[in-house]
């Protein structure tokens, strides 16, 4: 069974993307986050897998998740929650976050296709070795974390205890995977939207996404409002 997991949380103003404030309001930051989730779900939905999971923190499920199996995140630090969902799965499993709306679905397709090709090659070979196979796919985020982790054989123990939300989280996690002898294949690094500069970079890289359109609309409205306020002040 192949599984694709999107980890996300409800976009409540003041609870998501708070580092976008300022210049965005908390409400605008939540709106941008909601667009990022929709783009991510759209990319995930374009991948042919047996099982799609929305690993969700919240009560109001986002648009685009209607065909997903929703699994509540529960409690615990992020490493514990990530470990839990991997232990909840069997067979090739890929997890992605909600903060890289520039994600191209083809990157995800290529992961599963490579696993399938390697399995096919193994089944038709007389060799008794699995040398050269890909046990793990791993993608760094620009902030030092990671945006994706895929395991041929899901094992939460490989994640528990890794310090999350640090500038070396990705490196520590990668070292953990390599330390147990797993074959790791790196996928392209993506920009994780934390700051307004990140958001603008992603909008430039993927201008046709909901995320980019939402950010352009919000920043255009904000600029127009600020300009109007300046003119009113000048008149007074």
Q: Using CA atoms, how far apart are residues 77 and 96, in angstroms rounded to an integer?
A: 17
Q: pLDDT band at residue 81, thresholds of 50, 70 and 90? A: very high
Q: What average pLDDT does this structure show over 15-37?
A: 98
**pLDDT, position 124:** 80
Q: What average pLDDT does this structure show over 171-197?
A: 98
**Each residue of 224-234: pLDDT tens digit?**
554 544 544 45
**pLDDT, position 226:** 47
Are 94 and 40 in contact by the 8 Å Cβ rule? The answer is no
Q: Whole-model pTM?
A: 0.91
**Each residue of 196-207: pLDDT tens digit?**
999 999 999 999
Q: What share of the chain is helix, strand, coil (3-state, %, to 5)?
A: 45, 15, 40
pLDDT at 127 over 80: no
Q: What average pLDDT does this structure show over 8-37?
A: 98
Q: Could you give the residue ranges of the DSSP H alpha helices within the chain?
A: 26-45, 78-87, 105-123, 169-179, 196-205, 210-235
- β 136-141/146-151 pair status: antiparallel
**pLDDT, position 189:** 98
Mean pLDDT, the chain, integer? 93
**pLDDT, position 11:** 98
Q: What average pLDDT does this structure show over 170-190?
A: 98
Q: How many residues does the chain have?
A: 236
**CA-CA distances (angstroms) from residue 219 to 13, 21, 29, 59?**
17, 12, 11, 29
pLDDT at 235 over 60: no
**Each residue of 135-157: pLDDT tens digit?**
999 999 999 999 999 999 999 99
The C-alpha angle 155, 99, 191, rounded to 5 degrees, equals 100
**pLDDT, position 223:** 55
Q: What percent of the chain has pLDDT over 90?
A: 88
Q: What average pLDDT does this structure show over 156-183?
A: 98
Which has the higher per-residue pLDDT, 31 or 236?
31
Are 8 and 55 in contact by the 8 Å Cβ rule? The answer is yes
Domains of the chain with CATH codes: 3-123+131-235 (3.90.550.10)
């Amino acid at each position: 069974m192949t599984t694709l997991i999107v980890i996300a949380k409800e976009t409540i103003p003041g609870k998501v993307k708070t580092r976008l404030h300022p210049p965005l309001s908390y409400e605008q930051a939540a709106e941008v986050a909601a667009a990022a989730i929709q783009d991510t779900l759209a990319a995930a939905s374009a991948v042919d897998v047996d099982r799609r999971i929305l690993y969700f923190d919240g009560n109001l499920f986002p648009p685009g998740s209607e065909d997903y199996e929703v699994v509540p995140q529960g409690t615990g630090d992020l490493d514990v929650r990530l470990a839990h969902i991997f232990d909840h799965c069997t067979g090739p499993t890929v997890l992605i976050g909600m903060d890289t709306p520039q994600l191209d679905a083809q990157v995800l397709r290529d992961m599963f296709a490579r696993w399938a090709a390697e399995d096919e090659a193994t089944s038709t070979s007389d060799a008794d070795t699995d040398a050269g196979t890909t046990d793990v796919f791993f993608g760094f985020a620009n902030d030092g974390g990671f945006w994706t982790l895929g395991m041929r054989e899901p094992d939460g123990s490989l994640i528990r205890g890794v310090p999350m939300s640090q500038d070396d989280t990705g490196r520590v996690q990668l070292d953990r995977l390599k330390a147990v002898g797993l074959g790791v294949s790196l996928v392209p690094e993506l920009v994780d939207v934390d700051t307004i500069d990140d958001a603008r970079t992603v909008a430039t890289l993927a201008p046709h996404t909901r995320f980019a359109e939402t950010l352009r609309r919000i920043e255009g409205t904000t600029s127009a409002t600020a300009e109007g306020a300046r003119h009113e002040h000048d008149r007074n």
